[in-house]
A and B are shown apart, each in its own frame.
Chain A
Amino acid sequence: MSNIINLQESSLESSSPESPLIVGRHTLASRLIVGTGRYDTMQQMKDSLDASGADCVTVAVRREKLYERGGQNILDFLDLDRYTLLPNTAGCYTAVDAIRAAKLGREILRTLGNPGADWVKLEVLGDSKTLLPDPAATVEACRELAAEGFSVLCYTSDCPVTARRLKEVGAASVMPAGSPIGSGQGLLNPNNLRIVLEYLKEDDPNYPVIVDAGVGTASDVSEAFELGGDGVLLNTAIAHARDPVRMAAAMKHAAIAGRHAFLAGRIPKRLYGTASSPSEGVISTRPYGSETKE
């Protein structure tokens, strides 16, 4: 008897929402990855990252303003012992540029001694209005970066076929968008995300799929986890909330709630009501539907 209880407890523990997210060679305690862009101040960013509970944060690679420096560098506000940095290739529109950005990010993190030196969030955009990815260029860049030894986390659309291609060319994680970057529209096509998850995990249940982009509020994060996503990456939904620090805390709880709900297993949806109180012994008569089984 006690053995059964112990087994149940240990299996519950291993599947708890606080179980780590493993991507490439990295083990993350939090399943929420947050961006560092678009904050009003560096201090606000720092406080928001803290409230989010994330241990991995994304950063972008940009030209240093050599002759017109503002004096502040984001690295002065990020605790490099606490956060694993995930450099991105945001803003790149060709595979060649994205590969260059990835290598530059790796060089900075290598010299800083941050563990994030071996991975990259690959983003190759196809269109500046929608910020939708260029699938062909993303596949090409992913293949080359994986061959160069990077763990590649690929931002992509919610297209299941593209997702499959990216995994085939060596992506450490495929990161389908819920909706366009920064749009706050949430998960526009949950059915596509379901298919992406099914395809990528069918022979490989632990393959990490991270929903990246489009989150508007906490319930979007919960939904991504309820669908079976392993992680969520977001930025603007926190940075541009009226109260970013409070929203960061909301996102943290939403991630935990959504993950719990997924692991617990939701009930099926039914067309009709099913009473949770007993139908026997009710003192009232029924105007309709009285033929219900007793």
Chain B
Amino acid sequence: MIKITVNGKAVQIEEPMTVQQLLDTVEVPPNYLAVELNADVVPREEYGSHTVHDGDDVEVVTLVGGG
């Protein structure tokens, strides 16, 4: 098991996986989202080529109402 942080919460996963595989584990429509891996934006086209490793920090954000 490896430990990562997703949106500020500790999460355990079996083994390193790509951003795409990580997003597949949650029920979130992939459009409307942006992803950061260790504070760098991962472009949508590169979800499959960026791997999440032990200790990594992932942010998954969307748009909400605001001024």
Contact = CB atoms under 8 A, between A and B. Distances in A.
Interface of A: 35-39, 45, 58-64, 66-67, 69, 73-75, 85, 87-88, 90, 100, 103-105, 107-108, 111-112, 181-182, 213, 233-236
A108 B33 contact: yes
A64 B59 CA distance: 9
Contacts, number: 103
B66 A37 contact: yes
A-B pairs with lowest CB-CB distance, top 7 = A60-B66, A35-B67, A235-B67, A107-B34, A36-B65, A37-B65, A37-B66
Contacts of A36: 65-67
A231 to B, nearest CB: 14
B59 to A, nearest CB: 7
B56 interface: no
A37 B62 CA distance: 14
Interface in B15-42: 26-29, 31-34, 36, 39, 41
Contact of A59 (B8, B44, B59, B63): B63
B59 A63 contact: yes
A73 B28 CA distance: 11
Contacts of B32: 73, 75, 108, 112
B61 interface: yes
B24 to A, nearest CB: 12
A64 B67 contact: no
Contacts of A233: 67
A236 B8 contact: no
B51 interface: no
Contacts of B59: 63, 104
Nearest to B8: A63
B60 A64 contact: yes
A58 B66 contact: yes
B28 A87 contact: no
Contact of A111 (B26, B44, B66): B44
Contacts of A234: 67
Given A104-B61, A108-B62, A37 B67 contact: yes
Contacts of B7: 63-64, 66
Contacts of B28: 64, 66, 69
Q: Which of B41, B43, B61, B63 has the most CB of A within 10 A?
A: B63
Contacts of A181: 67
B64 interface: yes
A11 to B, nearest CB: 35
A108 B43 CA distance: 9
A105 B67 contact: no
